[in-house]
């Protein structure tokens, strides 16, 4: 008989397919891949009917003893594609069985019939996908020689017996799992609960049989539980994963991540449900702590910049509809650095908390007070009548500072400078804050302890900005820029493994201008592209100079430079970087680039494409100041990152604030799980360093090791490294 095939019989043999589909309930999703595969093989062995266990690509993982009757030897077929069995014609079988395997990998059962190379009759191969968990699928292929109808009843009886034995395996596995494993009626009623329910909820399994899970559900997540049960019962196709809370006997609650899987009877109909629930309470608490940290200032409990920007966007949208002005007040304490230096950081923190308490007392319902960093606060005032109303609030703030602050029995006098900006709902919240900040600087310049409205000084500020821009252009052209370097140390070896390059402006009068005084202007005017090219060029040259201090077999010392949003918009960026690296005689793994969240707030897709291209040519990429914006969590899996830098804000609390270690530990674990190197910024004490090392941080930089210095200061250190 010449080999041939018949058309696919999708959904054929629902009796057998339904029974094999129940094998999903025999596998504990919490086990590793090898253990789950072993459980599945044990279950398949319960069938004397010829059965093959396949991977989703059609590779034969194993078979039971029944395949021997079809002249198929287990040792001969393991690791081979199912269409490569000598029983049928190979070229023909590949074209017939490949679509069947592909359908199975997508969750669809089906069968096809092939004539064999012998005269014993055709063989029907029925494939059933078995979902072990949301990500793992195996294919069970049953082989049946057609023309053996007299054996059908015996096969069905044998299958039923084997399934009963397999259910015994399921219960034996469930008895020892640490998760809560349950069987349910189709309406959700418990028919079986694993003994782990006693450890997890302090309840007895026998007492819960016949009850409904909704009786244990916390009101806040009850709808999620009921909806998942109803959805699986209605669709009966694929497992559903969700999170919810269950009540503990002691009156508390525990968080669980649950997977509900449908189980079919021998007629292919929904027979019961199986659920596996893992206790994620501790994980949930860590997530909530990170969420709180993402939107709240840890010291004062006030909203931070991220939450302020969110509330501003909503307030501005309302203002655009109502045409009602909004006032933004930028509040900066006068002489706070002197207080910190004189009385210490602890007293400084106490002062900030006291200031926050007084400002909170002034905030009107519907307004927002935020601490956006250091001694800087921003108040968002809605429902105002423009600058006049905002001025009234500013005067109340200044009056509040007329009373001394008491810090540990010591009376301390503080004042504040306030800048005011008003808007009727523009789109750029950061621009409004910057206008208010500009007005605040003018208030300080005019004598401190007062407020200034931005519109009244805008003309003079614009003239000053124009003069500064012209001076910066001359600085770039005349070589007045300098790079200072701050070393990054490996916490295991103690060696210098990299440097962060920081640009400075050496003015003609000898004054060293810090970047915060000219980088924002460079960003605004577009000069940042030209300035950024200078930084990249100089960093590459310095990497080449430092090569002489390293032996050929040593890892190169990496230099990190910042990339701005404007630079990522430059279509010539990639070509410039490649050319600069080549001319410096270094490799791309000696120059690294870091971005902040603000880089991606605009055209994130365009920025991502540029970063992909840089990564392609070998440039390592890092995300800077991690933890200061919630949306950064999205970027961790979307961007081609190599390094995560923990913001100094979180590092400052290590060794003194218990919550700080929990948050930093969670960030390190998350980064390592994604294969990222973790660098802690702003290390200022031995205690912080010891905690970071204990938590598994990879590298660190900060004043504890060295302040930023000129390159020559590190030549000797690199020679010893």
Where is the domain boundary, 155, 171, 187? 171
Partnered with residue 255 across adjacent β-strands are 245
Contacts of residue 650, Cβ cutoff 8 Å, sequence gap at least 6: 293, 627, 660, 663, 664, 667
Q: Is the per-residue pLDDT at 456 higher than 60?
A: no
The separation between the first and the last C-alpha atoms of the chain, rounded to the nearest angstrom, is: 77
Among candidate residues 195, 181, 184, the one with its CA nearest the CA of residue 28? 181
Across 96-119, average pLDDT = 80
Q: What is the DSSP string of 113-135?
A: EE--SSSS--EEEEEEEEESSSS
Please check whether residue 306 is in contact with residue 55, taking contact to mean a CB–CB distance below 8 angstroms. no
* Cα angle for residues 518, 523, 524 (degrees, 5° grid): 100
Please check whether residue 406 is in contact with residue 413, taking contact to mean a CB–CB distance below 8 angstroms. no
Across 399-418, average pLDDT = 89
Residue position matching structure tokens 């905002």:
390
Q: What CA–CA distance (Å, rounded) separates 602 from 644? A: 21
What local confidence, expressed as pLDDT, does residue 108 receive?
A: 76
* Cα angle for residues 485, 491, 492 (degrees, 5° grid): 135
Q: Which two tokens stand for residue 713?
A: 């200061």
Same domain assignment for residues 449 and 489: no
Same domain assignment for residues 267 and 339: no
What local confidence, expressed as pLDDT, does residue 491 receive?
A: 93
| CATH code of the domain in which 445 resides | 3.30.70.270
| CATH code of the domain in which 251 resides | 3.30.450.20
CA distances, 275 to each of 174, 180, 259, 284 (Å): 11, 8, 5, 20
Where is the domain boundary, 139, 171, 203? 171
Percent share of the chain, pLDDT over 70: 80
**Of 279-283, 440-444, 463-467, which range is least confident?**
463-467
Same domain assignment for residues 200 and 157: no
Summarize pLDDT for 603-660 with one digit per residue, the tens.
556 678 888 899 999 999 998 877 655 445 666 667 788 999 988 888 888 877 777 8
**Of 443-457, 461-475, 500-514, which range is least confident?**
461-475
Running DSSP on this structure, what letter comes out for residue 80?
S
**Residue 357 — very low, low, confident or very high, per pLDDT cuts 50/70/90?**
very high
Among candidate residues 249, 179, 244, the one with its CA nearest the CA of residue 28? 179
Contacts of residue 628, Cβ cutoff 8 Å, sequence gap at least 6: 304, 305, 306, 597, 647, 649
Q: Is the per-residue pLDDT at 551 higher than 80?
A: no
Q: Is the per-residue pLDDT at 5 higher than 80?
A: no
288 part of a folded domain: no
Class of residue 433 by CB neighbours under 10 A (exposed 0-12, middle 13-18, buried 19+): buried
* Cα angle for residues 244, 249, 253 (degrees, 5° grid): 30
Class of residue 117 by CB neighbours under 10 A (exposed 0-12, middle 13-18, buried 19+): middle
Residue 328 phi, psi dihedral angles, 5° rounding: -120, 120
CA distances, 445 to each of 439, 453, 638 (Å): 10, 14, 44
Residue 62 phi, psi dihedral angles, 5° rounding: -170, 175
CA distances, 680 to each of 651, 665, 701, 721 (Å): 7, 11, 6, 20
Where is the domain boundary, 279, 303, 321? 279
Q: Is the per-residue pLDDT at 214 higher than 90?
A: yes
CA distances, 342 to each of 25, 375, 406 (Å): 67, 16, 15
Domain ranges, residue 182: 177-279
Please check whether residue 295 is in contact with residue 303, taking contact to mean a CB–CB distance below 8 angstroms. yes
What local confidence, expressed as pLDDT, does residue 562 receive?
A: 92
Summarize pLDDT for 268-304 with one digit per residue, the tens.
778 888 888 989 888 888 777 776 666 788 888 899 8
What local confidence, expressed as pLDDT, does residue 106 receive?
A: 79
Q: How far is CA 320 from the centre of its chain?
A: 34
Same domain assignment for residues 438 and 320: yes
Q: Is the per-residue pLDDT at 464 higher than 80?
A: no
Same domain assignment for residues 302 and 245: no
Q: Is the per-residue pLDDT at 436 higher than 90?
A: yes
Q: Is the per-residue pLDDT at 417 higher than 90?
A: yes
Same domain assignment for residues 447 and 519: no
Summarize pLDDT for 674-693 with one digit per residue, the tens.
889 999 999 999 999 999 99
Q: How many domains does the chain have?
A: 4
**Residue 154 — very low, low, confident or very high, per pLDDT cuts 50/70/90?**
very low
Among candidate residues 188, 154, 177, 195, the one with its CA nearest the CA of residue 47? 154
639 dihedral zone (left: phi>0; alpha: psi -120 to 50; beta): beta
Q: Is the per-residue pLDDT at 258 higher than 80?
A: yes
Summarize pLDDT for 325-338 with one digit per residue, the tens.
888 999 999 888 88
What local confidence, expressed as pLDDT, does residue 53 receive?
A: 86
Q: Is the per-residue pLDDT at 64 higher than 70?
A: yes
Summarize pLDDT for 158-168 with one digit per residue, the tens.
444 444 444 54
**Residue 38 — very low, low, confident or very high, per pLDDT cuts 50/70/90?**
low
Among candidate residues 457, 459, 432, the one with its CA nearest the CA of residue 444? 457
Q: Output the average pLDDT for the chain.
A: 80
Across 295-321, average pLDDT = 86
Please check whether residue 82 is in contact with residue 141, taking contact to mean a CB–CB distance below 8 angstroms. yes
Please check whether residue 422 is in contact with residue 387, taking contact to mean a CB–CB distance below 8 angstroms. yes
Summarize pLDDT for 8-36 with one digit per residue, the tens.
333 333 333 334 444 444 445 555 555 55
Please check whether residue 109 is in contact with residue 11, taking contact to mean a CB–CB distance below 8 angstroms. yes
Among candidate residues 667, 672, 634, the one with its CA nearest the CA of residue 648? 667
Q: What CA–CA distance (Å, rounded) separates 168 from 175? A: 11
Q: Is the per-residue pLDDT at 62 higher than 70?
A: yes
Q: What CA–CA distance (Å, rounded) separates 159 from 221? A: 40
Q: Which two tokens stand for residue 366?
A: 């519907």
Residue position matching structure tokens 């009921």:
226
6 part of a folded domain: no
What local confidence, expressed as pLDDT, does residue 18 receive?
A: 37
Contacts of residue 472, Cβ cutoff 8 Å, sequence gap at least 6: 505, 518, 521, 522, 527, 531
517 part of a folded domain: yes
Q: What is the DSSP string of 421-442?
A: EEES--S-HHHHHHHHHHHHHH
Q: Is the per-residue pLDDT at 151 higher than 50?
A: no
Percent share of the chain, pLDDT over 90: 27
Q: Is the per-residue pLDDT at 2 higher than 50?
A: no
pTM: 0.42
595 part of a folded domain: yes
Same domain assignment for residues 452 and 503: no
Residue 450 phi, psi dihedral angles, 5° rounding: -150, 175
What local confidence, expressed as pLDDT, does residue 458 receive?
A: 52
Q: What CA–CA distance (Å, rounded) separates 420 from 461? A: 14
Same domain assignment for residues 623 and 684: yes
286 part of a folded domain: no
8 part of a folded domain: no
Same domain assignment for residues 501 and 579: yes
289 part of a folded domain: no
Q: Which two tokens stand for residue 129?
A: 């996908």
9 part of a folded domain: no
Same domain assignment for residues 197 and 152: no
Q: What is the DSSP string of 603-640?
A: -HHHHHHHHHHHHHTT-EEEEEEETS-TTHHHHHHHS-
Summarize pLDDT for 580-610 with one digit per residue, the tens.
999 999 999 899 999 876 565 555 566 788 8
Please check whether residue 280 is in contact with residue 263, taking contact to mean a CB–CB distance below 8 angstroms. no
Same domain assignment for residues 72 and 113: yes
Same domain assignment for residues 498 and 539: yes
CA distances, 589 to each of 135, 548, 584, 619 (Å): 35, 17, 13, 6
| CATH code of the domain in which 585 resides | 3.20.20.450
Among candidate residues 689, 241, 355, the one with its CA nearest the CA of residue 490? 689
Q: What CA–CA distance (Å, rounded) separates 488 from 680? A: 9
Q: What CA–CA distance (Å, rounded) separates 480 from 504? A: 9
């Amino acid at each position: 008989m010449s080999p041939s095939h018949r058309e696919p019989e999708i959904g054929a043999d629902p009796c057998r397919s339904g029974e094999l589909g129940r094998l999903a309930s025999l596998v504990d999703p919490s086990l590793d891949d090898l253990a789950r595969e072993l459980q599945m093989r044990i279950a398949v062995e319960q069938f004397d009917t010829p059965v093959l266990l396949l991977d989703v690509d059609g590779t034969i993982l194993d078979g039971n003893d029944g395949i021997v009757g079809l002249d198929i030897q287990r040792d001969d077929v393991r690791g081979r594609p199912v269409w490569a069995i000598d029983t049928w014609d190979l070229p023909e079988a590949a074209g017939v069985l490949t679509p069947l395997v592909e359908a199975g990998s997508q969750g669809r059962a089906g069968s096809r019939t092939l004539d064999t190379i012998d005269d014993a009759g055709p063989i029907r191969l029925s494939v059933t996908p078995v979902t072990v968990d949301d990500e793992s699928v195996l294919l069970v292929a049953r082989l049946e020689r057609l023309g053996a109808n007299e054996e059908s009843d015996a096969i069905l009886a044998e299958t039923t017996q084997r399934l009963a034995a397999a259910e015994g395996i399921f219960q034996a596995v469930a008895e020892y799992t640490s998760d809560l494993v349950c069987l349910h009626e189709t309406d959700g009623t418990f028919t079986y609960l694993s003994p782990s329910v006693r450890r997890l909820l302090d309840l007895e399994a026998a007492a819960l049989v016949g009850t409904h899970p909704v009786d244990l559900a916390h009101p806040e997540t009850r709808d999620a539980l009921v909806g998942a049960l109803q959805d699986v019962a209605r669709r009966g196709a694929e497992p559903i994963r969700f999170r919810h809370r269950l009540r503990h006997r002691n009156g508390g609650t525990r968080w669980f991540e649950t997977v509900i899987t449908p189980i079919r009877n021998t007629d292919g109909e929904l027979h019961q449900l199986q659920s596996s629930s893992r206790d994620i309470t501790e994980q949930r608490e860590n997530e909530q702590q990170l969420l709180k940290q993402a939107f709240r200032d840890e010291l004062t409990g006030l909203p931070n910049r991220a939450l302020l920007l969110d509330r501003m966007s909503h307030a501005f949208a309302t203002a655009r509809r109502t045409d009602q002005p909004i006032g933004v007040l930028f509040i900066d304490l006068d002489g706070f650095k002197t207080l910190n230096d004189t009385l210490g950081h602890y007293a400084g923190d106490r002062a900030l908390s006291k200031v926050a308490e007084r400002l909170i007392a002034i905030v009107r319902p519907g307004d927002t007070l935020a601490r956006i960093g250091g001694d800087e606060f921003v108040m968002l005032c809605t429902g105002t009548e423009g600058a006049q109303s905002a001025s009234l609030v500013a005067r109340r703030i200044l009056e509040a500072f007329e009373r001394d602050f008491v810090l540990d029995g010591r009376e301390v006098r503080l004042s504040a400078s306030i800048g005011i900006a008003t808007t009727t709902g523009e789109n750029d919240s950061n621009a409004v804050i910057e206008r208010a900040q500009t007005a605040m600087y003018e208030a300080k310049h005019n004598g401190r302890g007062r407020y200034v409205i931005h519109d009244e000084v805008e003309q003079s500020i614009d003239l000053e900005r124009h003069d500064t821009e012209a001076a910066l252009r001359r600085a770039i052209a005349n070589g007045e820029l300098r790079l200072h370097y701050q070393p990054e140390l490996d916490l295991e070896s103690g060696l210098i493994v990299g440097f962060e390059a920081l640009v400075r402006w050496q003015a003609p009068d000898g004054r060293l201008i810090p970047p915060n005084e000219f980088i924002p202007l460079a960003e605004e005017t577009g000069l940042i592209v030209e300035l950024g090219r200078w930084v990249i060029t100089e960093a590459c040259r310095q990497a080449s100079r430092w090569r002489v201090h390293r032996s050929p077999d040593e890892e190169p010392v990496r230099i990190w430079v910042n990339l701005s949003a404007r630079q990522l918009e430059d279509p010539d960026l990639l070509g410039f970087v490649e050319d600069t690296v080549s001319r410096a005689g270094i490799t791309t793994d000696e120059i690294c680039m870091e971005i902040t969240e603000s880089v991606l707030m605009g055209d994130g897709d365009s920025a991502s494409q540029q970063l992909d291209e840089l990564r392609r040519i070998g440039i390592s990429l890092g995300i800077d100041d991690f933890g200061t914006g919630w949306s950064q969590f999205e970027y961790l899996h979307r961007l081609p990152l190599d390094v995560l830098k923990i913001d100094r804000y979180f590092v400052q609390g290590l060794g003194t604030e218990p919550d700080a270690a929990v948050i930093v530990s969670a960030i390190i674990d998350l980064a390592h799980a994604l294969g990222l190197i973790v660098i802690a910024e702003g290390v200022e004490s031995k205690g912080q360093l010891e905690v970071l090392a204990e938590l598994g941080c990879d590298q660190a930089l900060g004043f504890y090791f060295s302040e930023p210095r000129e390159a020559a200061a590190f030549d000797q250190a690199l020679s010893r490294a």
